[in-house]
Chains A and B, each alone.
Chain A
Amino acid sequence: MMGEIKRVYLDNAATTMQKPPCVVEAVTAALTSFGNSGRDTGGHALDASRVIYEARCLVSDMLNLGNPKQVVFTCNSTEALNMAIRGLFQKGDHVISSVMEHNAVLRPLYDIEEEQGVSHTFIGVDEKGRLLLSDIEKHIRPETKALIFTHASNVTGNANDLMAIGKIAKAHGLLFIVDASQTAGVLPIDMKAMNIDVVAFTGHKGLYGPQGTGGMAVREGLEIRPMKSGGTGVLSYLQHQPEEMPTHLECGTMNAHSLAGLRASLNWLTKEVGIDQVHAHEIALAKRFYDGLKDLPVIHFYGDYDTDQRAAIVSLNIGDYDSSEVSDQLEGDYGISTRPGAHCAPLIHEAMGTVEQGMVRFAFSWFNTEEEVDYAIKAVRELAADV
């Protein structure tokens, strides 16, 4: 059986494995033609600089940021979230976040609590893992400085109402920081309409770019203390990092080769295929998968599947089987890649009561097909029949 095994990749919430051909072509071309961006004016270096600038423009347009200079590139959203969370607050400040967050938010918050004396409150969720939105205002104190929320949980796929949270932030004069790791390129984000100050994004998931790309879009005028300093190609005799964005938060050689791939994927996503169309396909596959299994009483689903405004994630458990065991059998017997365990998001598992069992996460992409979904349904049904 192993020699004939089908390969179906359904771990797209971790990284979209398959990329558009234009991304592969762009990275390959960059690897054989780019100099060091921003470091000289030779044609090869300028090619790199131009591509990075175009990538900034595409991100700025996608998020309605309004200024490509406010797009800072990092190696992923974790780095961007660390920069924002560690660079915005002072001793005595308080921030509000949620149990839906990934460790990319939680660990920096725990760290700044110890290191900087910045306290936090985590808003809870209901039985379907939906944020208790009405609890946010109850926890705002005089020293509260920011609301830090994921756009969508990487575990349940549930999306938060950014417009509603942004209104609360505006009404109380709070910063609003959004972790869009699961939603950049998936769900619409309008920084101006939603009153968002910082959006952290990663390039290798819903944006279909290479790993090692990501960044943050920063509202104009917001000062984030640099986490790093070093060579910028400009103002070399300044002793500290220049104040101008994006240089203020970028130093060292940029990952131009991969950013060329991100530029290509952003162009493909926003100008060729369209974010709405990609999301419609992904969510239709997720719904097909859910609908194909929901009649089985032995399967427990986590998340709200009554809406399309969510990430294309379906997380489940089969009976009381260890999620790692289920995932391993899906991989070994059926060639289906999923993600079991805690998904680097401990608090949502505590809230959903799955710390011991974990969950098996299925996440769908533009490149998955209905045939693959049907194959995954058949596989899960066969495993569930043994319970």
Chain B
Amino acid sequence: MRQKQLRLITTFHTTADALACEKACKAQGFSGRIIPVPRQLSAGCGLAWSCEPELEGEFAGFLKEHQVEFDEMAVILF
């Protein structure tokens, strides 16, 4: 298994939200990628966005600015 790293994980209510997040991030040059929702955040499946933990302070504002709804945001080892 690869070594776990600290990542800022954002979860969403719908797949469409995750795709909206990816689209906004790509357009604005934010790095990151879609991953399966880590089980420690939710047991209910779905897509999440994983990016550098340093973005924690600004990412929620970025998503709100681009009208992307999200569920939770947490820095975890993944």
A contact set with B: CB distance below 8 Å: 37-38, 40-41, 46, 49-50, 52-53, 56, 67-69, 233-238, 242, 244-247
Contact = CB atoms under 8 A, between A and B. Distances in A.
Nearest to B46: A234
A37 B14 CA distance: 12
A235 B44 contact: yes
Given A244-B13, A244-B14, A246-B14, A233 B20 contact: no
B74 interface: no
B55 interface: no
Given A41-B35, A46-B34, A53-B23, A246 B16 contact: yes
Counting chain A CB atoms within 10 Å of each CB, the highest count among B16, B36, B44 belongs to B16
B13 A238 contact: no
Counting chain A CB atoms within 10 Å of each CB, the highest count among B13, B19, B44 belongs to B19
Nearest to B12: A234
A46 B74 CA distance: 23
Interface in B18-74: 18-20, 22-23, 34-36, 43-47, 67, 69
B5 interface: no
Nearest to B33: A41
A259 to B, nearest CB: 13
Counting chain A CB atoms within 10 Å of each CB, the highest count among B13, B14, B36 belongs to B14
A41 B45 contact: no
Contacts of B23: 53
Given A234-B15, A244-B14, 4 more contacts: A52-B19, A69-B14, A69-B16, A235-B46
B32 to A, nearest CB: 12
Chain B interface mostly helix, strand, loop or mixed? mixed
A69 B15 contact: no
B35 A53 contact: no
Contact of B20 (A40, A53, A234, A237): A53
Contacts, number: 67
A234 B42 CA distance: 10
B2 to A, nearest CB: 15
B33 to A, nearest CB: 8
13 contacts: A41-B35, A53-B16, A69-B20, A69-B69, A233-B46, A233-B47, A234-B15, A235-B46, A236-B43, A237-B43, A242-B14, A244-B13, A247-B13
Chain A interface mostly helix, strand, loop or mixed? loop
Given A46-B34, A68-B20, A37 B47 contact: no
Nearest to B47: A41
A234 B13 contact: yes
Contact of B14 (A50, A238, A245): A245
B44 A234 contact: yes
Contacts of B67: 67
A68 to B, nearest CB: 7
A48 B52 CA distance: 26
A101 to B, nearest CB: 31
Contact of B19 (A53, A67, A234): A53
A320 to B, nearest CB: 54
A247 B34 contact: no
For the complex of A and B, 5 pairs with smallest distance between CB atoms? A38-B15, A53-B19, A234-B46, A244-B13, A235-B44
Nearest to A247: B14
A41 B44 CA distance: 15
Contact of A235 (B13, B16, B19, B34): B13
B13 A233 contact: no
Contacts of A69: 14, 16-17, 20, 69
B15 A37 contact: yes
